[in-house]
């Protein structure tokens, strides 16, 4: 099975061989002085204790000094940057290869520092950590300004090279954006950390108790998944969209303007075209036509699912909404109405054969957060993939800390340094997190697969959708009846036709329902980036117009364009994460799954 991941890996990476050039030696005195500084300043910058209690692995020993050392890395880079190889001929492949060796040696260190600084901030939202990110961004900018035009010049000639690696690498290096204004760089970094902070710290207070307030994770998300009372759901939905979205609005609009400015200065029509470039489809029109067609193909099935669910909800909430119109967004078991599987037991086709309630089962069996992670790891090792590394267990954030503000949105991290892989999840014991753990660990398996023998330049997915699809393929199998039988969670005899149809309904509520939402997330932002939304009169209205047009979902409460910004209540907007990767991954995962089944002889 390990070979299957490697097969997928081969699709996204290519063999590239370079010789490594020795760094200019530091004097012994200078090196010892740097090491002393690092030990004093950075030995305690990494949280070596896991963020949850009762973990049998909490005593795993890792070297406190075995992590990225910001000051040393920056000093080494400062030395190397001054010694860029001379370029006499941009058509010479030996010169190009020599320049790449220099470039990637520096770029890898900068990448390692950036990831570490981001982790520190997301797991401990402080002014100090925000400043550390901003300062590092400003420090790295001159290198980007120096190298981007050189890469573009090399690319003019290497795009016709018979050496495939040079053609591919310079094709990638010649893309992207780089600000030419230090004030803009500093401002973008500040706005970015402010947006993460707004999302991570926003709270909704109880109507009759202003001292009791809740963040999105875990409380508000859990409430949306489990609560049935119409008005309680409305309180949570309106509270979060007001408290988060409204605060995100002014910061995000300023942030987008600066990013768009950078994109245009670097030859793009807008930030939308920069995002679309990741998929290497030639031009934005071709890409957008493709995703339009994909959604069009899905919509007949979605429309039937929507009508079926709406009918059931109308019976649950009589006279609360128009049973022939859009569904209010707060009734679908999710704060953003993006996935509906938490309404499964309200819409089962066959109530006589309900799929196992995995949340109740996990709690009944007294499965701990740690047990869930170990179950996921056991699955990967059982099919010949990698166990998690000691640093994963020692340095990941598995639960929401009680002593500091964090961004809870689940993420996997590749520190690109010494087997340092981590996950950041405010885990609770339920079926959604059981899926999420497998998904995020799937990312880490992919990180480890392409770290094995691949040079730094190719340690990434074929595109962002490919990465997400691998995580989703694994997550989908983790909740399948076949896997739950293997875990002893379900009796094989219980799996009959009605059970399987109910399970397929669960998948439809999660996967089919997701497609229009994922589509609208970037369709809306593309319009915003291209200045096709009147910010005064339709900034929020356009969002809901698209949600209704493409998904039949409407705002749960009255909204206004003067203050509301409901897209900003979804993590990926303030964090500026493109969402088309999830839309396409929603298709790719089934193609991957089909391919794996065929290899196993199951068609």
Confidence of residue 455 (pLDDT cuts 50, 70, 90): confident
Residue 79 pLDDT > 90? yes
- C-alpha–C-alpha distance, residues 599 and 591, integer Å: 12
Average pLDDT value for residue range 566-589: 97
- C-alpha–C-alpha distance, residues 551 and 292, integer Å: 14
- C-alpha–C-alpha distance, residues 425 and 191, integer Å: 24
Residue 187 pLDDT > 90? yes
- C-alpha–C-alpha distance, residues 387 and 443, integer Å: 13
The pLDDT value given to residue 347: 97
The pLDDT value given to residue 49: 40
Q: Quick one: tokens of 197? A: 């902070």
Average pLDDT value for residue range 226-252: 98
Give the mean pLDDT of the chain: 89
| Binding-site annotation: residue ranges for chloride | 279, 581
Confidence of residue 51 (pLDDT cuts 50, 70, 90): very low
Q: Quick one: tokens of 235? A: 């309180």
- C-alpha–C-alpha distance, residues 50 and 478, integer Å: 25
Residues in the chain: 603
Residue 11 pLDDT > 80? no
The pLDDT value given to residue 226: 96
The pLDDT value given to residue 180: 87
- C-alpha–C-alpha distance, residues 186 and 189, integer Å: 5
Model-level pTM?
A: 0.87
| Binding-site annotation: residue ranges | 279, 439, 443, 468, 581
C-beta separation of 222 from 547 below 8 A:
no
Percent of residues, the chain, with pLDDT higher than 70: 90
The pLDDT value given to residue 549: 98
The pLDDT value given to residue 142: 95
Confidence of residue 28 (pLDDT cuts 50, 70, 90): low
Average pLDDT value for residue range 353-374: 94
Which candidate, 204, 212, 211, places its Cα nearest to that of 238? 204
Residue 311 pLDDT > 70? yes
Tens of pLDDT, residues 254-272: 999 999 999 999 999 999 9
Average pLDDT value for residue range 222-241: 98
**Where are the domains positioned within the chain?**
84-175, 194-353+511-587, 358-495
The pLDDT value given to residue 176: 85
| Binding-site annotation: residue ranges for Zn(2+) | 439, 443, 468
Confidence of residue 57 (pLDDT cuts 50, 70, 90): low
Q: What is the CATH number of domain 194-353+511-587?
A: 1.10.1370.10
Q: Quick one: tokens of 259? A: 């990013």
Residue 62 pLDDT > 90? no
Average pLDDT value for residue range 212-231: 96
Confidence of residue 59 (pLDDT cuts 50, 70, 90): low
438 is catalytic: no
Give the C-alpha distances (Å, rounded to integers) separating 244 from 265, 286, 536. Answer: 31, 35, 19
The pLDDT value given to residue 54: 45
3 state SS of 215: coil
3 state SS of 405: coil
Residue 232 pLDDT > 70? yes
Residue 324 pLDDT > 70? yes
3 state SS of 8: helix
Average pLDDT value for residue range 395-415: 96
Residue of 243, 440, 445, 467 marked active site: 440
Instruction: Report DSSP state, residue 328.
Output: E
Confidence of residue 438 (pLDDT cuts 50, 70, 90): very high
Find the distance separating the first CA and the last CA of the chain, reported in whole Å. Answer: 17
399 is catalytic: no
- C-alpha–C-alpha distance, residues 347 and 344, integer Å: 5
The pLDDT value given to residue 45: 33
The pLDDT value given to residue 58: 53
Residue of 370, 438, 467, 572 marked active site: 572
Lowest-pLDDT range, 16-25, 63-72, 171-180, 369-378? Answer: 16-25
Which candidate, 512, 496, 525, 383, places its Cα nearest to that of 441? 383
């Amino acid at each position: 099975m390990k070979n299957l991941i490697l097969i997928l890996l081969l699709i996204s990476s290519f063999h590239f061989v370079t010789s490594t050039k020795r760094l200019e030696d530091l004097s012994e005195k200078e090196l010892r002085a740097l090491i002393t500084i690092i030990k004093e300043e950075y030995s305690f910058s990494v949280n070596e204790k896991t963020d949850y209690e009762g973990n049998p692995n909490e005593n795993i020993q890792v070297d406190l000094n075995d992590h990225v050392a910001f000051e040393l890395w920056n000093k080494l880079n400062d030395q190397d940057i001054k010694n860029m190889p001379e370029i006499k001929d941009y058509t010479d492949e030996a010169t190009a290869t020599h320049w790449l060796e220099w470039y990637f040696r520096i770029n890898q260190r900068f990448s390692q520092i950036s990831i570490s600084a981001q982790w520190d901030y997301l797991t401990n939202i402080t002014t100090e950590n925000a400043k550390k990110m901003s300062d590092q961004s400003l420090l790295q900018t001159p290198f980007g300004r120096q190298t981007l035009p050189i890469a573009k010049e090399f690319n003019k000639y290497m795009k016709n090279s018979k050496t495939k690696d040079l053609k591919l690498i310079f094709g990638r290096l010649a893309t992207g954006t780089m600000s030419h204004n230090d004030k803009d760089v500093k401002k973008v970094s500040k706005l970015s950390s402010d947006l993460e902070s707004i999302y991570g710290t926003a709270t909704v207070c109880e109507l009759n108790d202003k001292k009791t307030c809740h963040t999105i994770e875990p409380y508000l998300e859990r409430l949306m998944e489990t609560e049935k009372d119409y008005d309680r759901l409305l309180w949570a939905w309106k509270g979060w969209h007001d408290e988060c979205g409204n605060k995100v609005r002014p910061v995000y609009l300023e942030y987008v303007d600066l990013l768009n400015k950078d994109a245009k200065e670097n030859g793009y029509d807008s930030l939308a075209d920069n995002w679309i470039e990741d998929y290497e489809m030639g031009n934005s029109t071709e890409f957008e036509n493709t995703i339009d067609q994909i959604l069009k193909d899905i919509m007949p099935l979605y429309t039937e699912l929507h009508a079926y669910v709406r009918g059931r909800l109308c019976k649950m909430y009589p006279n609360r909404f128009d049973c022939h119109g859009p569904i209010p967004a707060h009734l679908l078991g999710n704060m953003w109405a993006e996935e509906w599987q938490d309404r499964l037991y309200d819409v089962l086709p066959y109530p006589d054969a309900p799929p196992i309630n995995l949340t109740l089962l996990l709690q009944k069996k007294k499965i701990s957060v740690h047990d869930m992670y170990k179950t996921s790891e056991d699955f990967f090792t059982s099919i010949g993939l990698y166990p998690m590394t000691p640093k994963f267990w020692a340095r990941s954030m598995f639960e929401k800390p009680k002593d500091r503000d964090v961004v809870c949105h689940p993420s996997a991290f590749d520190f690109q340094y010494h087997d340092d892989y981590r996950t950041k999840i405010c885990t609770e014991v339920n079926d959604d997190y059981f899926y999420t753990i497998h998904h995020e660990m799937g990312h880490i398996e992919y990180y480890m697969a392409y770290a094995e023998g691949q040079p730094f330049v190719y340690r990434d997915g074929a595109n962002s959708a490919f990465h997400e699809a691998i995580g989703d393929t694994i997550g989908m199998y983790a909740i399948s009846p076949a896997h739950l039988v293997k875990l002893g969670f379900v009796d094989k005899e219980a799996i009959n036709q009605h059970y399987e149809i109910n399970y397929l309904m669960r998948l439809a509520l999660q996967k089919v329902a997701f497609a229009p939402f994922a589509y609208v997330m970037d369709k809306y932002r593309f319009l915003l980036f291209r200045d096709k939304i009147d910010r005064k009169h339709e900034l929020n209205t356009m969002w809901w117009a698209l949600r209704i047009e493409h998904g039949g979902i409407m705002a749960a409460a009255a909204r206004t364009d003067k203050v509301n910004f409901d897209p900003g209540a979804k993590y990926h907007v303030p964090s500026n994460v493109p969402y088309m990767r999830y839309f396409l991954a929603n298709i790719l995962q089934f193609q991957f799954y089909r391919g794996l089944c065929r290899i196993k002889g199951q068609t």
